[in-house]
Protein backbone atom coordinates (compact mmCIF):
# COMPACT_ATOMS: atom_id res chain seq x y z
CA UNK A 1 0.00 0.00 0.00
CA UNK A 2 1.45 3.28 -1.10
CA UNK A 3 2.14 5.98 1.50
CA UNK A 4 1.77 3.28 4.14
CA UNK A 5 4.28 0.49 3.56
CA UNK A 6 7.23 2.85 3.16
CA UNK A 7 6.63 4.02 6.69
CA UNK A 8 6.74 0.49 8.09
CA UNK A 9 10.28 -0.37 7.03
CA UNK A 10 12.05 -2.32 9.75
CA UNK A 11 15.56 -1.49 8.62
CA UNK A 12 14.91 2.24 8.81
CA UNK A 13 13.31 1.66 12.21
CA UNK A 14 16.47 0.04 13.55
CA UNK A 15 18.60 2.93 12.35
CA UNK A 16 16.22 5.46 13.86
CA UNK A 17 16.07 3.54 17.12
CA UNK A 18 19.86 3.68 17.33
CA UNK A 19 19.76 7.46 16.81
CA UNK A 20 17.12 7.79 19.48
CA UNK A 21 19.22 5.82 21.94
CA UNK A 22 22.19 8.04 21.16
CA UNK A 23 20.20 11.21 21.81
CA UNK A 24 19.05 10.12 25.26
CA UNK A 25 21.04 11.56 28.14
CA UNK A 26 22.29 8.66 30.22
CA UNK A 27 20.34 8.29 33.42
CA UNK A 28 17.56 10.64 32.36
CA UNK A 29 13.93 9.50 32.17
CA UNK A 30 11.84 10.87 29.33
CA UNK A 31 8.05 10.94 29.39
CA UNK A 32 6.22 11.88 26.21
CA UNK A 33 2.47 11.92 26.00
CA UNK A 34 0.92 10.65 22.83
CA UNK A 35 -2.39 12.44 22.90
CA UNK A 36 -4.20 10.50 20.25
CA UNK A 37 -5.76 7.08 20.68
CA UNK A 38 -4.78 6.24 17.13
CA UNK A 39 -1.14 6.54 18.17
CA UNK A 40 -1.74 4.21 21.11
CA UNK A 41 -3.11 1.71 18.65
CA UNK A 42 -0.11 2.00 16.31
CA UNK A 43 2.34 1.54 19.16
CA UNK A 44 0.78 -1.73 20.18
CA UNK A 45 -0.24 -2.93 16.73
CA UNK A 46 3.35 -2.85 15.46
CA UNK A 47 5.20 -3.56 18.67
CA UNK A 48 6.88 -0.17 18.65
CA UNK A 49 7.91 -0.36 22.29
CA UNK A 50 10.62 -2.84 21.29
CA UNK A 51 12.40 -0.03 19.44
CA UNK A 52 12.52 2.44 22.28
CA UNK A 53 15.13 2.44 25.04
CA UNK A 54 14.01 1.72 28.60
CA UNK A 55 14.30 5.35 29.67
CA UNK A 56 11.64 6.58 27.27
CA UNK A 57 8.05 6.15 28.44
CA UNK A 58 5.14 6.89 26.14
CA UNK A 59 2.20 8.00 28.24
CA UNK A 60 -1.25 7.52 26.74
CA UNK A 61 -3.35 10.66 26.77
CA UNK A 62 -7.06 11.50 26.63
CA UNK A 63 -7.34 11.68 22.86
CA UNK A 64 -9.79 8.86 22.61
CA UNK A 65 -13.17 10.39 21.80
CA UNK A 66 -14.95 7.17 22.73
CA UNK A 67 -13.16 6.90 26.07
CA UNK A 68 -14.10 10.40 27.21
CA UNK A 69 -17.86 10.10 26.68
CA UNK A 70 -19.51 9.94 30.11
CA UNK A 71 -21.91 7.09 30.90
CA UNK A 72 -24.86 9.44 31.16
CA UNK A 73 -24.47 10.48 27.52
CA UNK A 74 -24.34 6.83 26.44
CA UNK A 75 -27.58 6.29 28.36
CA UNK A 76 -29.12 9.30 26.58
CA UNK A 77 -28.16 7.84 23.21
CA UNK A 78 -29.58 4.43 24.13
CA UNK A 79 -32.75 6.12 25.34
CA UNK A 80 -33.22 7.66 21.89
CA UNK A 81 -32.26 4.41 20.17
CA UNK A 82 -34.86 2.47 22.12
CA UNK A 83 -37.74 4.44 20.62
CA UNK A 84 -39.60 2.30 18.07
CA UNK A 85 -39.69 5.10 15.49
CA UNK A 86 -35.91 5.63 15.61
CA UNK A 87 -33.07 4.04 13.68
CA UNK A 88 -29.89 4.82 15.57
CA UNK A 89 -26.73 4.83 13.48
CA UNK A 90 -23.25 4.76 14.92
CA UNK A 91 -19.63 4.03 14.20
CA UNK A 92 -18.52 0.56 15.29
CA UNK A 93 -16.37 2.02 18.05
CA UNK A 94 -19.37 2.92 20.22
CA UNK A 95 -21.31 -0.31 20.11
CA UNK A 96 -19.73 -2.02 23.12
CA UNK A 97 -19.30 1.05 25.33
CA UNK A 98 -21.14 0.44 28.58
CA UNK A 99 -23.58 3.06 29.81
CA UNK A 100 -25.30 2.89 33.20
CA UNK A 101 -27.67 0.24 31.90
CA UNK A 102 -25.71 -1.64 29.28
CA UNK A 103 -24.25 -1.00 25.85
CA UNK A 104 -25.70 -0.46 22.40
CA UNK A 105 -25.25 -4.15 21.70
CA UNK A 106 -27.32 -4.94 24.77
CA UNK A 107 -29.97 -2.44 23.65
CA UNK A 108 -29.96 -4.08 20.22
CA UNK A 109 -30.52 -7.45 21.85
CA UNK A 110 -33.49 -5.93 23.65
CA UNK A 111 -34.98 -4.77 20.36
CA UNK A 112 -33.57 -1.33 19.50
CA UNK A 113 -32.86 -0.71 15.80
CA UNK A 114 -29.19 0.16 15.94
CA UNK A 115 -27.09 0.03 12.78
CA UNK A 116 -23.41 0.44 12.29
CA UNK A 117 -22.22 2.88 9.62
CA UNK A 118 -18.83 3.70 8.18
CA UNK A 119 -19.68 7.35 7.40
CA UNK A 120 -22.32 9.90 8.47
CA UNK A 121 -23.25 10.04 4.77
CA UNK A 122 -24.35 6.40 5.05
CA UNK A 123 -26.66 7.40 7.90
CA UNK A 124 -28.16 10.11 5.69
CA UNK A 125 -28.65 7.51 2.96
CA UNK A 126 -30.61 5.36 5.40
CA UNK A 127 -32.78 8.38 6.24
CA UNK A 128 -33.57 8.87 2.55
CA UNK A 129 -34.37 5.18 2.15
CA UNK A 130 -36.63 4.98 5.20
CA UNK A 131 -38.82 8.12 5.21
CA UNK A 132 -41.20 6.70 7.81
CA UNK A 133 -38.53 6.29 10.43
CA UNK A 134 -36.41 8.88 12.17
CA UNK A 135 -32.70 8.31 11.70
CA UNK A 136 -30.33 9.59 14.37
CA UNK A 137 -26.57 9.65 13.86
CA UNK A 138 -24.44 9.32 16.98
CA UNK A 139 -21.66 11.77 16.22
CA UNK A 140 -18.41 11.20 18.08
CA UNK A 141 -14.85 12.22 17.46
CA UNK A 142 -12.56 15.20 17.73
CA UNK A 143 -12.08 17.89 15.12
CA UNK A 144 -11.12 15.24 12.58
CA UNK A 145 -14.65 13.94 12.38
CA UNK A 146 -16.72 17.06 13.15
CA UNK A 147 -16.41 18.47 9.59
CA UNK A 148 -17.83 15.22 8.15
CA UNK A 149 -20.84 15.47 10.43
CA UNK A 150 -21.23 19.14 9.57
CA UNK A 151 -21.14 18.57 5.81
CA UNK A 152 -23.65 15.73 6.17
CA UNK A 153 -26.06 18.03 8.02
CA UNK A 154 -25.60 20.68 5.35
CA UNK A 155 -26.44 18.07 2.68
CA UNK A 156 -29.52 17.00 4.63
CA UNK A 157 -30.68 20.62 4.83
CA UNK A 158 -30.00 21.25 1.12
CA UNK A 159 -31.93 18.15 0.11
CA UNK A 160 -34.78 18.84 2.49
CA UNK A 161 -34.39 15.53 4.36
CA UNK A 162 -36.50 15.99 7.49
CA UNK A 163 -36.10 12.62 9.22
CA UNK A 164 -32.37 12.92 9.94
CA UNK A 165 -30.74 14.30 13.08
CA UNK A 166 -27.45 14.17 14.92
CA UNK A 167 -26.78 13.39 18.58
CA UNK A 168 -23.65 15.47 18.80
CA UNK A 169 -20.78 14.41 21.06
CA UNK A 170 -17.89 15.99 19.20
CA UNK A 171 -15.16 17.17 21.52
CA UNK A 172 -12.21 19.50 20.89
CA UNK A 173 -8.64 18.51 21.54
CA UNK A 174 -7.02 21.70 22.85
CA UNK A 175 -9.06 21.95 26.08
CA UNK A 176 -8.29 18.28 26.69
CA UNK A 177 -4.57 18.85 26.33
CA UNK A 178 -4.82 21.96 28.48
CA UNK A 179 -6.54 19.97 31.23
CA UNK A 180 -3.59 17.57 31.16
CA UNK A 181 -1.07 20.42 31.25
CA UNK A 182 -2.83 22.01 34.21
CA UNK A 183 -3.04 18.74 36.09
CA UNK A 184 -0.73 18.76 39.11
CA UNK A 185 0.04 15.03 39.05
CA UNK A 186 1.68 15.02 35.71
CA UNK A 187 5.32 15.24 34.68
CA UNK A 188 5.84 15.29 30.94
CA UNK A 189 8.78 16.24 28.72
CA UNK A 190 6.87 16.71 25.50
CA UNK A 191 3.89 15.82 23.36
CA UNK A 192 3.32 13.69 20.31
CA UNK A 193 0.55 15.63 18.63
CA UNK A 194 -2.56 14.21 16.95
CA UNK A 195 -1.87 13.95 13.23
CA UNK A 196 -5.37 13.73 11.83
CA UNK A 197 -6.99 16.34 14.08
CA UNK A 198 -4.25 18.62 12.78
CA UNK A 199 -5.32 18.15 9.17
CA UNK A 200 -8.35 20.20 10.21
CA UNK A 201 -7.05 22.60 12.87
CA UNK A 202 -3.48 22.90 11.59
CA UNK A 203 -0.43 23.27 13.82
CA UNK A 204 -0.91 26.81 15.16
CA UNK A 205 -3.36 25.91 17.96
CA UNK A 206 -0.57 24.00 19.72
CA UNK A 207 1.79 26.98 19.87
CA UNK A 208 0.66 27.94 23.37
CA UNK A 209 2.15 24.69 24.66
CA UNK A 210 5.81 25.51 24.04
CA UNK A 211 5.16 29.20 24.70
CA UNK A 212 3.35 28.99 28.02
CA UNK A 213 4.20 25.54 29.31
CA UNK A 214 7.70 25.11 27.86
CA UNK A 215 6.98 21.65 26.39
CA UNK A 216 7.80 20.77 22.77
CA UNK A 217 5.15 19.19 20.56
CA UNK A 218 5.63 17.22 17.33
CA UNK A 219 2.58 16.61 15.14
CA UNK A 220 2.92 12.94 14.20
CA UNK A 221 1.66 10.57 11.54
CA UNK A 222 0.26 7.14 12.31
CA UNK A 223 2.69 4.73 10.78
CA UNK A 224 5.34 3.29 13.10
CA UNK A 225 8.19 5.19 11.43
CA UNK A 226 6.21 8.41 11.86
CA UNK A 227 6.04 7.82 15.59
CA UNK A 228 9.70 6.92 15.86
CA UNK A 229 10.69 9.98 13.89
CA UNK A 230 8.52 12.11 16.16
CA UNK A 231 10.23 10.75 19.26
CA UNK A 232 13.55 11.50 17.58
CA UNK A 233 12.49 15.08 16.82
CA UNK A 234 11.34 15.62 20.40
CA UNK A 235 14.65 14.36 21.77
CA UNK A 236 16.56 16.55 19.34
CA UNK A 237 14.60 19.59 20.51
CA UNK A 238 15.42 18.77 24.11
CA UNK A 239 19.07 18.18 23.28
CA UNK A 240 19.26 21.45 21.28
CA UNK A 241 17.46 23.41 23.96
CA UNK A 242 14.64 24.26 21.54
CA UNK A 243 10.99 24.25 22.41
CA UNK A 244 8.55 24.55 19.53
CA UNK A 245 5.81 22.95 17.46
CA UNK A 246 7.14 20.76 14.65
CA UNK A 247 5.18 19.02 11.89
CA UNK A 248 6.51 15.49 11.26
CA UNK A 249 3.37 14.62 9.27
CA UNK A 250 3.83 17.35 6.67
CA UNK A 251 2.86 15.02 3.83
CA UNK A 252 -0.72 15.14 5.14
CA UNK A 253 -0.96 18.05 7.60
CA UNK A 254 -0.99 21.59 6.23
CA UNK A 255 0.35 24.13 8.78
CA UNK A 256 -2.85 26.16 8.44
CA UNK A 257 -5.19 23.19 8.55
CA UNK A 258 -8.25 22.88 6.32
CA UNK A 259 -10.19 26.17 6.04
CA UNK A 260 -13.14 24.57 4.21
CA UNK A 261 -13.50 22.01 7.00
CA UNK A 262 -13.34 24.69 9.67
CA UNK A 263 -15.94 26.76 7.77
CA UNK A 264 -18.33 23.80 7.64
CA UNK A 265 -18.00 23.19 11.37
CA UNK A 266 -18.46 26.90 12.14
CA UNK A 267 -21.59 26.97 9.99
CA UNK A 268 -23.30 24.01 11.63
CA UNK A 269 -21.93 23.80 15.15
CA UNK A 270 -20.97 25.96 18.08
CA UNK A 271 -19.10 25.38 21.32
CA UNK A 272 -21.00 24.25 24.40
CA UNK A 273 -20.17 26.35 27.45
CA UNK A 274 -18.94 23.18 29.17
CA UNK A 275 -19.02 19.41 28.69
CA UNK A 276 -18.17 16.53 30.95
CA UNK A 277 -15.22 14.37 29.92
CA UNK A 278 -15.18 11.00 31.54
CA UNK A 279 -12.30 10.95 33.98
CA UNK A 280 -11.40 14.62 33.52
CA UNK A 281 -14.54 16.27 34.81
CA UNK A 282 -16.26 19.32 33.32
CA UNK A 283 -14.13 21.26 30.84
CA UNK A 284 -15.32 24.58 29.46
CA UNK A 285 -15.68 25.15 25.72
CA UNK A 286 -14.52 21.65 24.95
CA UNK A 287 -17.41 20.22 22.96
CA UNK A 288 -19.69 21.10 20.08
CA UNK A 289 -23.44 21.23 19.73
CA UNK A 290 -25.67 22.03 16.76
CA UNK A 291 -26.33 25.69 16.12
CA UNK A 292 -29.87 27.04 16.64
CA UNK A 293 -30.23 27.46 12.86
CA UNK A 294 -29.88 23.68 12.56
CA UNK A 295 -32.16 22.86 15.49
CA UNK A 296 -34.24 20.65 13.20
CA UNK A 297 -31.20 18.36 12.92
CA UNK A 298 -30.36 18.34 16.61
CA UNK A 299 -31.44 15.06 18.21
CA UNK A 300 -31.12 16.59 21.68
CA UNK A 301 -33.81 19.11 20.82
CA UNK A 302 -36.06 16.66 18.99
CA UNK A 303 -36.06 13.81 21.49
CA UNK A 304 -36.40 14.00 25.27
CA UNK A 305 -33.35 12.53 26.97
CA UNK A 306 -32.83 11.78 30.66
CA UNK A 307 -29.73 14.00 30.69
CA UNK A 308 -28.70 12.41 33.95
CA UNK A 309 -25.14 12.58 35.10
CA UNK A 310 -24.16 9.01 35.88
CA UNK A 311 -21.20 8.65 38.19
CA UNK A 312 -18.56 6.24 37.02
CA UNK A 313 -18.55 2.96 38.95
CA UNK A 314 -16.54 3.37 42.14
CA UNK A 315 -14.00 0.83 41.03
CA UNK A 316 -13.34 2.62 37.77
CA UNK A 317 -10.07 4.48 37.49
CA UNK A 318 -10.36 5.46 33.84
CA UNK A 319 -9.80 9.08 34.74
CA UNK A 320 -6.34 8.50 36.08
CA UNK A 321 -5.44 6.22 33.20
CA UNK A 322 -6.66 8.81 30.69
CA UNK A 323 -4.47 11.43 32.35
CA UNK A 324 -1.51 9.10 32.19
CA UNK A 325 -1.19 9.09 35.98
CA UNK A 326 -1.87 5.37 36.25
CA UNK A 327 -0.61 2.68 33.94
CA UNK A 328 -3.40 0.29 32.91
CA UNK A 329 -2.14 -2.57 35.08
CA UNK A 330 -2.06 -0.23 38.07
CA UNK A 331 -5.86 0.14 38.01
CA UNK A 332 -7.40 -1.93 40.80
CA UNK A 333 -9.84 -3.74 38.54
CA UNK A 334 -7.67 -4.18 35.47
CA UNK A 335 -7.90 -7.70 34.10
CA UNK A 336 -10.18 -9.05 36.76
CA UNK A 337 -13.49 -7.23 37.03
CA UNK A 338 -12.64 -5.10 34.02
CA UNK A 339 -11.67 -7.02 30.88
CA UNK A 340 -12.41 -6.53 27.18
CA UNK A 341 -15.33 -8.99 27.57
CA UNK A 342 -16.69 -7.34 30.70
CA UNK A 343 -15.48 -3.74 30.47
CA UNK A 344 -16.25 -1.41 33.32
CA UNK A 345 -14.74 1.67 31.77
CA UNK A 346 -14.15 3.01 28.32
CA UNK A 347 -10.38 2.61 28.45
CA UNK A 348 -11.02 -1.11 28.18
CA UNK A 349 -13.81 -1.18 25.67
CA UNK A 350 -12.43 1.17 23.08
CA UNK A 351 -10.04 -0.56 20.72
CA UNK A 352 -7.60 2.30 21.21
CA UNK A 353 -8.13 2.76 24.92
CA UNK A 354 -4.92 2.39 26.89
CA UNK A 355 -6.25 -0.55 28.88
CA UNK A 356 -7.57 -2.47 25.90
CA UNK A 357 -4.32 -1.88 24.06
CA UNK A 358 -2.26 -3.10 27.00
CA UNK A 359 -4.53 -6.07 27.70
CA UNK A 360 -4.71 -7.18 24.09
CA UNK A 361 -1.21 -6.41 22.99
CA UNK A 362 1.18 -5.56 25.73
CA UNK A 363 0.08 -7.83 28.51
CA UNK A 364 3.07 -10.07 28.74
CA UNK A 365 6.38 -8.99 30.12
CA UNK A 366 8.60 -7.89 27.31
CA UNK A 367 11.42 -10.28 28.18
CA UNK A 368 9.16 -13.31 28.11
CA UNK A 369 7.68 -12.28 24.78
CA UNK A 370 11.05 -11.47 23.24
CA UNK A 371 12.36 -14.85 24.33
CA UNK A 372 9.46 -16.64 22.69
CA UNK A 373 9.83 -14.75 19.42
CA UNK A 374 13.60 -15.09 19.15
Q: What part of residues 40-69 is at the interface with other proteins (CB under 8 A)? A: 41, 44-51, 63-66
Decide: is 132 part of the binding site for other proteins (CB under 8 A). no
Decide: is 169 part of the binding site for other proteins (CB under 8 A). no
Decide: is 72 part of the binding site for other proteins (CB under 8 A). no
Distances (CA, A) of 314 to 11, 97, 161: 47, 17, 44
Site for other proteins in 136-165 (CB under 8 A): 141-142, 144-145, 147-148, 151
* Euclidean distance between CA atoms 287 and 170, whole angstroms: 6
**Which segments of the chain does DSSP mark as H helices, in order?**
10-23, 37-46, 71-81, 104-109, 120-129, 146-159, 173-181, 195-201, 208-213, 224-240, 259-268, 299-302, 318-322, 346-349, 354-357, 366-373
* Euclidean distance between CA atoms 120 and 296, whole angstroms: 17
Q: How far apart are the first and last CA of the chain?
A: 28
Residues in contact with other proteins, shown as a per-residue x/- string from 80 to 99 under the rule CB under 8 A? -----------xxx-xx---
Shortest distance, position 365 Cβ to other proteins, whole Å: 7
Binding region for other proteins (CB under 8 A) out of 178-186, 280-288, 302-310, 338-346: 338-346
Decide: is 370 part of the binding site for other proteins (CB under 8 A). yes
Nearest of 152, 145, 153, 151 to residue 169 by alpha carbon? 145
Task: Give 112 or 303: the residue with its C-beta nearer to other proteins.
Answer: 112
Decide: is 351 part of the binding site for other proteins (CB under 8 A). yes
Cβ-based neighbours of 332, under 8 Å, separated by 6 or more: 315, 317
How many residues of this chain interact with other proteins, rule: CB under 8 A?
Answer: 107
Site for other proteins in 265-324 (CB under 8 A): none
Residues in contact with other proteins, shown as a per-residue x/- string from 174 to 213 under the rule CB under 8 A? --------------------xxxx-xx-------------
Decide: is 229 part of the binding site for other proteins (CB under 8 A). yes
Amino acid sequence: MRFVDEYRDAAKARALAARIAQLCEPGRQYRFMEVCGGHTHTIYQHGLADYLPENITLVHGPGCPVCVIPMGRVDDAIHIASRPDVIMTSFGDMLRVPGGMGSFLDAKAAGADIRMVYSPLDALAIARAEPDRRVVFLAIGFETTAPSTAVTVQRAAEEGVTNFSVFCNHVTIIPGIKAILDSPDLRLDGFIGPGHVSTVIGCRPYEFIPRQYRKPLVVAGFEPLDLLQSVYLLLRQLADGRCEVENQYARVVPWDGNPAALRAVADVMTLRPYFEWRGLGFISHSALRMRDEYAAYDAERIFPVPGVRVADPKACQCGEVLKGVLKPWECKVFGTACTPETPIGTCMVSSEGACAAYYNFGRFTRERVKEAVR
